[in-house]
């Protein structure tokens, strides 16, 4: 079965007011992401990487164009529906892991599942499975301060996919890690995407990691272009 397009940006524009002038970041940008695909977003700072991720993740509204998630147009949806789509269909991973320091690794991964309505037993079982998959099951009861940088980021990835989203959006997920640890974390992320059929868009400055992904895109003149 051919991969399906799960995320599509069509003619997306995003402008910001700067005093009396308007700063145009995206100008009719088009992009699509298919199930089981990992795409690298490689672009200099200030070109619109974070803006593109925010639009794709329904954190911002485009000024023109449309964002489709699993075939559904999202711009006109009420805020409550957009929030529900973000919670259930999109996973986010950032450069900084943003784990809750007072909770253990397994509790951090349980949190979004409990918010989504799963029972504590179900949430704990899935969290344990994800930690095992990320090869850190033995660290389940450790708090973030007791984990290495690579371990923390693998917990963050597990948390991002805890609710079985369709799309994973990552902004420099290995930016704070040394090259060896970054490669190890990416290996775990790639295996997760391949096994689950997830679709991933990963913004990175790491050209070695970008070269290992299925496609590489950049932003030029406000548009998304293949590299």
> Which tokens is 90 given?
């999109």
Is the pLDDT at 175 greater than 70? The verdict is yes
* 169 beta partners: 92, 201
* Residues contacting residue 158 through CB under 8 Å, at least 6 positions apart: 109, 127, 130, 131, 133, 134
Q: How many domains does the chain have?
A: 1
Is the pLDDT at 41 greater than 90? The verdict is yes
Residue at 198 is within a domain: yes
Residue at 62 is within a domain: yes
- Predicted local confidence at residue 183, as pLDDT: 86
Residue at 213 is within a domain: yes
* Residues contacting residue 206 through CB under 8 Å, at least 6 positions apart: 174, 175, 182
**214 sits in which H/E element:** none
Per DSSP, 210 falls in state H
- Predicted local confidence at residue 39, as pLDDT: 96
pLDDT bracket for residue 40 (50, 70, 90): very high
- Predicted local confidence at residue 32, as pLDDT: 95
Q: Are 143 and 104 in contact (CB under 8 A)?
A: yes
Q: Are 34 and 4 in contact (CB under 8 A)?
A: yes
Residue 29 is part of which domain span?
A: 5-100+149-226
Residue at 112 is within a domain: no
Q: Mean pLDDT across the stretch 117-133?
A: 93
Is the pLDDT at 1 greater than 70? The verdict is no
- Predicted local confidence at residue 213, as pLDDT: 94
Q: Mean pLDDT across the stretch 21-25?
A: 87
Cα 17 from chain centre: 27
Residue at 139 is within a domain: no
Residue at 55 is within a domain: yes
- Predicted local confidence at residue 181, as pLDDT: 83
| Helix ranges, the chain (H) | 49-56, 79-89, 105-115, 120-133, 149-160, 179-196, 207-210
> Which tokens is 68 given?
């489709």
> Which tokens is 81 given?
């529906």
Residue at 121 is within a domain: no
Is the pLDDT at 97 greater than 80? The verdict is no
Higher pLDDT, 78 or 192: 78
- Predicted local confidence at residue 147, as pLDDT: 94
- Predicted local confidence at residue 224, as pLDDT: 95
* Residue 203: closest CA among 185, 220, 189, 216: 216
The long-range contacts involving 12-17, CB below 8 angstroms and separated by at least 24 positions, are: 12/55, 12/62, 12/64, 12/65, 12/66, 12/67, 13/62, 13/63, 13/64, 13/65, 13/222, 14/48, 14/51, 14/55, 14/60, 14/62, 14/63, 15/63
- Predicted local confidence at residue 17, as pLDDT: 81
pLDDT bracket for residue 196 (50, 70, 90): confident
CATH code at 194? 3.40.50.300
Residue at 136 is within a domain: no
């Amino acid at each position: 079965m051919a991969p399906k397009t799960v995320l599509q940006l069509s003619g997306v524009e995003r402008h910001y007011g700067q005093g009396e002038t308007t700063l145009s970041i995206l100008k009719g940008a088009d992009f699509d992401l298919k199930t089981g695909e990992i795409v690298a977003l490689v672009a200099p700072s200030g070109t619109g990487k974070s803006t593109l991720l925010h639009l794709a993740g329904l954190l911002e509204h485009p000024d023109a164009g449309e964002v489709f998630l699993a075939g559904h147009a999202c711009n006109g949806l009420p805020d409550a529906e957009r929030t529900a789509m973000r919670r259930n269909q999109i996973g986010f991973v950032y450069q900084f892991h943003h784990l809750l320091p007072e909770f253990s690794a397994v509790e951090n991964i349980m949190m979004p599942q409990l918010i989504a309505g799963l029972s504590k037993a179900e949430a704990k079982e899935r969290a344990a499975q994800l930690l095992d998959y990320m090869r850190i099951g033995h660290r389940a009861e450790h708090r973030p301060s007791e984990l290495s940088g690579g371990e923390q980021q693998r917990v963050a990835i597990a948390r991002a996919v805890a609710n079985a989203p369709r799309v994973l959006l990552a902004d420099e997920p290995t930016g704070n890690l040394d090259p060896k640890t970054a490669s190890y974390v990416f290996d775990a992320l790639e295996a997760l995407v391949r096994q689950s059929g997830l679709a991933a868009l990963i913004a990175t400055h790491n050209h070695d990691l970008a070269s290992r992904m299925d496609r590489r895109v950049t932003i030029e003149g406000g548009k998304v272009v293949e590299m």
